[in-house]
């Protein structure tokens, strides 16, 4: 998928010298008895930029204490020789739950899923070199979709404490990944800790707005909205990242206008809400959504990114003269731009002003044909989606995780109950996110994941599910086996390039400590889902489909991309 330009990922390598420290028994840097054994008051002889120093402590102990102070409770990673001392300190502090998987890409996706599901900072620790390089793809997805993940890899100068503080603050403020590199021979070296960090309450803050600009942007937006006849609200990914789901829902209810979400933001607005029309994917959206968006005289875009996935691989049809955009720390009201206006302050400002309430009959739209009457016939992908919706209807405590590929598009037609969730990597779209991302999300929220995953993606990172039993996790993986990389079949001239080895998926699930099912008919899938719901361990349901079966949205997206020359035949 296309890559957008953005600010660089905050990163740093700590280096420097200092005296070795004695082992500590406590990582807190609050005043009182709970201090590392080597802690001693002191003053700094360095520049005034850092402010007065109240104490010194080993860098490793400082890092542990700092992460605790900002509320980190889980740490994802794989121990390695260059971070073994850090893992020793993390493991000694029972406040952290350490989650290890088999390979760094899975760890990265799990941390990403954790951060997406909670809106909290996720922390990963991997070894230097190979470990860090293996994280690149997962972190690229986090960067593309604004997911706050801090990667620690395995020295400090005298400003190491400020460096840690600055990187973590930037990760949270920008909602993007960051990187801290701490060499193994620096973990026990003593560093000065500024008074400001010691006295800090641990609260992470988003970017601040200019209140005067917020007021003007809200005033102009309200005037435009109140004068409109056919407004529409389009909810984007920043609604997720800045935890604005409740405020946006309440704002939409005050306005009464129809609501759509982008591909990236599916799940940011309740899918069973009477104002919700469905997912907008540019011209390949369901026809009623295309007509309603194109016919709107004002589109209020809240946190919406212009990506090829969101736009259906076509130029945007929403012109500036009839739109308002709140994204990336600024607001555009048609051709007027207000910088330094954070979406959180903008939405809350709109909640405080008078807005005209519109009334319109709205119905939810998807891409699915009517369900099949003959439940004994062979499964098709549309049958799978109907059965998933049937299964989720009335069931609480589930979150749907859609893998990239055909299942990313198929998942757009899945509806989740209001207390559930939906996760997908809808922009960067790296295959392999689904299973490890679901593990991280379940650790974070306790919601049971229902993973929509193709056979190709499962062969990448699916075996990470073998770790589910030791963490008490019980995801349901609905593995769509259509015999290879079928999403590319319409645009590939040599079908043999799409073939995959046949794995005994159901038997592998049994061997890894879960339950496995293999189904080929609609009624078999229906029974397997009910049985999986009863299980106390993870479940893999292999649903065998025909080789040319694709979801309706996938087929339309591929055709649109091919027409524009975005996909080349191999």
Which position has the higher pLDDT, 204 or 423? 423
Segment (H or E) for 194: strand 190-194
Residue whose C-alpha is closest to residue 30's, from 72, 82, 65, 79: 65
The 10s digit of each residue's pLDDT in 427-437 is 888 899 999 99
Q: What tokens were used for 350? A: 């709109």
At 351 the pLDDT is 96
In the chain, the domains with their CATH numbers are 11-199 (3.40.50.970), 211-351 (3.40.50.1220), 381-563 (3.40.50.970)
Residue listed under structure tokens 């992470």: 204
Percent of the chain with pLDDT over 90: 58
- Region of poorest pLDDT, from 6-10, 136-140, 374-378: 6-10
CA separation, residue 53 to residues 37, 48, 398 (Å): 18, 10, 48
Q: From the centroid of its chain, how far is CA 467?
A: 21
Q: What tokens were used for 211? A: 């209140």
CA–CA gap between residue 277 and residue 234 (Å, rounded): 10
The pLDDT of 169-185, averaged and rounded, is: 83
CA separation, residue 327 to residues 97, 234, 392, 553 (Å): 34, 12, 33, 27
pLDDT category of residue 83 using cuts at 50, 70 and 90: confident
The pLDDT of 481-508, averaged and rounded, is: 80
Is the pLDDT score of 93 beyond 90?
no
pLDDT category of residue 422 using cuts at 50, 70 and 90: very high
In three state form, how does the secondary structure of 420-454 look?
CEEEECCCCCCCCCHHHHHHHHHHHHCCEEEEEEE
CA–CA gap between residue 272 and residue 417 (Å, rounded): 7
CA separation, residue 179 to residues 60, 201, 202, 322 (Å): 16, 23, 19, 40
Reduced to 3 states (helix: H, G, I; strand: E, B; else coil), residue 40 is strand
Which position has the higher pLDDT, 17 or 449? 449
At 313 the pLDDT is 61
At 314 the pLDDT is 67
Is the pLDDT score of 70 beyond 50?
yes
CA–CA gap between residue 564 and residue 555 (Å, rounded): 14
The 10s digit of each residue's pLDDT in 253-262 is 999 999 999 9
At 58 the pLDDT is 87
Is the pLDDT score of 560 beyond 90?
no
At 192 the pLDDT is 76
The answer, as to whether pTM is greater than 0.85, is no
The pLDDT of 11-22, averaged and rounded, is: 39
Q: What tokens were used for 109? A: 């996706």
Reduced to 3 states (helix: H, G, I; strand: E, B; else coil), residue 57 is strand
Residue whose C-alpha is closest to residue 504's, from 468, 451, 459, 465: 459
At 345 the pLDDT is 97
The 10s digit of each residue's pLDDT in 444-473 is 999 999 999 999 999 999 999 999 999 999
Average pLDDT, rounded, for the chain: 85
CA separation, residue 41 to residues 28, 51, 156, 321 (Å): 15, 14, 19, 61
């Amino acid at each position: 998928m296309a890559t957008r330009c953005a600010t660089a990922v905050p990163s740093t390598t700590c280096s420097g010298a200092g005296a070795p420290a004695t082992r500590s028994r406590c990582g807190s840097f609050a005043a009182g008895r709970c201090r590392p054994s080597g802690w001693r008051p002191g003053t700094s002889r360095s520049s005034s930029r850092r402010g007065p120093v109240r104490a010194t402590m080993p860098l490793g102990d400082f890092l542990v204490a700092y992460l605790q102070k900002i509320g980190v409770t889980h740490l994802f990673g794989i121990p390695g020789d260059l971070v073994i001392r850090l893992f020793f300190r993390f493991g000694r502090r029972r406040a952290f739950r350490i989650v290890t998987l088999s390979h760094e890409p899975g760890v990265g996706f799990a941390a990403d899923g954790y951060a997406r599901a909670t809106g909290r900072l996720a922390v990963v620790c991997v070894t230097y070199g190979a470990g860090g390089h293996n994280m690149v793809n997962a972190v690229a997805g986090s960067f593309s979709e604004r997911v706050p993940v801090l990667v620690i890899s395995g020295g400090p100068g005298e400003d190491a404490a400020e460096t840690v503080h600055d990187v973590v603050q930037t990760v949270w403020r920008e909602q993007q990944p960051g990187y801290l590199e701490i060499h193994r021979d620096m973990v026990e070296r003593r560093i000065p800790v500024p008074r400001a960090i010691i006295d800090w309450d641990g609260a992470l803050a988003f970017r601040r707005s200019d209140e005067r600009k917020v007021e003007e942007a809200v005033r102009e937006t309200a005037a435009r909205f109140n004068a409109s006849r056919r407004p529409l609200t389009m909810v984007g990914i920043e609604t997720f990242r800045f935890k604005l789901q409740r405020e946006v829902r309440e704002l939409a209810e005050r306005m009464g206008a129809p609501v759509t979400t982008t591909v990236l933001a599916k799940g940011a607005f309740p899918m069973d809400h009477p104002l919700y029309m469905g997912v907008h994917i540019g011209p390949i959206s369901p026809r009623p959504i295309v007509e309603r968006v194109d016919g709107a005289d004002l589109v209020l875009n809240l946190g919406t990114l212009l990506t090829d996935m969101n736009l259906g691989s076509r130029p945007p049809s929403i012109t500036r003269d009839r739109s308002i955009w709140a994204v990336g720390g600024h607001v555009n009201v048609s051709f007027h731009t207000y910088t330094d206006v954070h979406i959180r302050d903008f939405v809350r400002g709109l909640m405080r002003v008078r807005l005209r309430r519109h009334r319109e009959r709205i119905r939810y739209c998807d891409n699915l044909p009517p369900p099949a009457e003959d439940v004994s016939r062979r499964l098709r992908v549309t049958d799978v989606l109907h059965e998933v919706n049937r299964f989720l209807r009335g069931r609480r405590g589930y979150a749907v995780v859609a893998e990239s590929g055909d299942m990313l598009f198929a998942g757009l037609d899945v509806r989740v109950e209001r207390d559930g969730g939906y996760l997908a990597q809808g922009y960067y779209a790296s295959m392999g996110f689904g299973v490890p991302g679901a593990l991280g999300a379940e650790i974070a929220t306790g919601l049971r994941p229902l993973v929509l995953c193709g056979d190709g993606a499962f062969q990448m990172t699916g075996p990470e599910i073998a770790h589910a039993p030791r963490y008490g996790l019980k995801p349901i993986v609905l593995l769509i086996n259509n015999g290879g990389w079928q999403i590319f079949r319409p645009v590939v001239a040599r079908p043999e390039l799409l073939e995959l080895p046949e794995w005994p998926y159901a038997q592998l699930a049994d061997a890894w400590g879960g339950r496995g099912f293999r189904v080929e008919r609609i009624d078999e899938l229906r029974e397997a889902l009910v049985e999986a719901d009863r299980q106390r361990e993870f479940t893999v349901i292999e649903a065998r489909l025909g080789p040319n079966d694709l979801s309706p949205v996938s087929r339309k997206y591929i055709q649109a991309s091919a027409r524009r020359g975005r996909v080349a035949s191999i």
